[in-house]
Amino acid sequence: MASITLILVFHVFIIIIISLLQSSKGKQIICNTLSCGDIVIAFPFGLKESNQDPLCSYSTNPTFQLSCNNQRQTILNLPKTDDLIIKNIDYITQTIHVNDPKGCLPKRYLDNNFNLSDSAFKLNPEIYSTYNLTFLRCPSNVTELPLAPISCLRDKEHSNSSSSPVIVSWAPPPLSQTCEVISTALVPLPSMDIPMWPWPNLESDVELVWTKPRCGDCLLDGQVCGFSEEDENRLQVECFPSPSNQGLSRSVKYGIAMGVGIPGLLCLIGLCYSICGKMRRTVPLYEQRTSNLPTITISLEPLPSFAMGLDGATIEKYPKTLIGESGRLLKANDNTCSICLSEYQPKETLRSIPECNHYFHAACIDEWLKMNGTCPICRNSPETYSSTGPSFSSLFLSPNSSPLSSSR
């Protein structure tokens, strides 16, 4: 019990340490929830037009400061390119989907106006690779190669014409005679084998990621991410309980569960052991001794019956017979010894059992009757032969049909 008490004290000490570590964290800055259109704006993002505390966003990088235009579109401001529209923000995977405000990203690629350097964002490396592609303007009847028309690059003054911009990864000589080369540009495409068909839609949204600050783990833990007041100079990002779920964090709850559950289980085991020990000491000594003795079970089922073998004197009283030279038997169909399965031969000695008149080789039946006092064929137990002595008869005929008898 002393060791259990020490373990209990140790776990309580762990709970106190965890609680102190939790309380040593800085106080969370309370930030209001912001939104622009359908986009919810939370740490690390901030909204320029709001009067938020600077610590409510990752203010060390200005690219996390978003804008909201008159059309209630969330705008991402980048240092080396024009603004982009944010279509979606996933705070757990730390990804955003962006597009051109005018819906024509290919125009941005042609104008070299898609530069993510000096920002917190980059193309998602798990999806995109960058390719140097050639933009061509070809007649609509050109079908030698898989071409993907880009509707947003169609000339307004030629909107009804039969020509439209297309994009390919190379410009073969045959196309150079019928198509006009517009320009070449670096274009992000899904990582696939080139050439590909059909071509991906270059006007669709592009997925960007950010890696710092890393807040996805906080959200998976049911908490929120942010700065603390004491960390204003260091700008250390921490996880805090969600305002909608105030209370202890999961790590503290886990520590309390371990600190209370394990000692409680050990105490229960110790209590059961102590009670069992007391009950054992109260049992009389003779009951303890008899309880350790093995249990003996006696079966009352009857033993199977079997016939014991006969002694040699009894066996010698059974009659013997000598087969004549003709080999003729009293029973024509009974010409094989049922014990050794050999056919009877002339001048062989047989022995018969008087009760059933079954006969066998004398040597075979003698060995049989010594082990089992029953007839090998009918399984009847012969009675003790009442003759005063063994006999040797001529039950089988000789070639002259005169019986040959002999007695010992």
What's the rounded Cα separation, in Å, for the pair 158 and 162?
Answer: 8
Q: Does the structure show a pLDDT above 90 at 327?
A: no
HSE (side-chain half, CA atoms, 13 Å) at 405 = 7
Q: Is 144 left (phi over 0), alpha (psi -120 to 50) or beta?
A: alpha
| Domain extents in the chain | 29-227, 312-393
Give me the pLDDT at residue 298, please.
Answer: 46
Mean pLDDT of the chain, nearest integer: 75
Query: Which among 378, 382, 244, 379 has a CA at the least distance from the CA of 317?
Result: 382
Which of 120, 122, 153 is closest to 136 using CA atoms?
153
Please write the tens of the pLDDT for every residue from 382-408: 665 444 444 454 444 444 433 333 333
Q: What is the mean pLDDT of residues 159-179?
A: 59
Helix (H) or strand (E) holding 132: strand 128-139
Q: What percent of the chain has pLDDT over 90?
A: 23
Which CATH number does 312-393 carry? 3.30.40.10
Position 36 pLDDT exceeds 90: yes
How far is the C-alpha of 298 from the C-alpha of 276, rounded, in Å?
33
The mean per-residue pLDDT over the stretch 44-56 comes to 87
pLDDT single digits (tens) 83-124: 999 999 999 999 999 999 999 999 999 999 999 999 999 999
- Better-predicted residue by pLDDT, 204 or 176: 204
Which of the two residues, 366 and 164, has the higher pLDDT score? 366
User: Which carries the bigger pLDDT value, residue 187 or residue 402?
Assistant: 187
DSSP string, 274-332: HHHHHHHHHS-HHHHHHHTSPP-----PPPPP-PPPPPHHHHHTS-EEE--TT---SST
Q: How far apart are the first and last CA of the chain?
A: 94
Closest CA to 131 of 211, 208, 196: 196
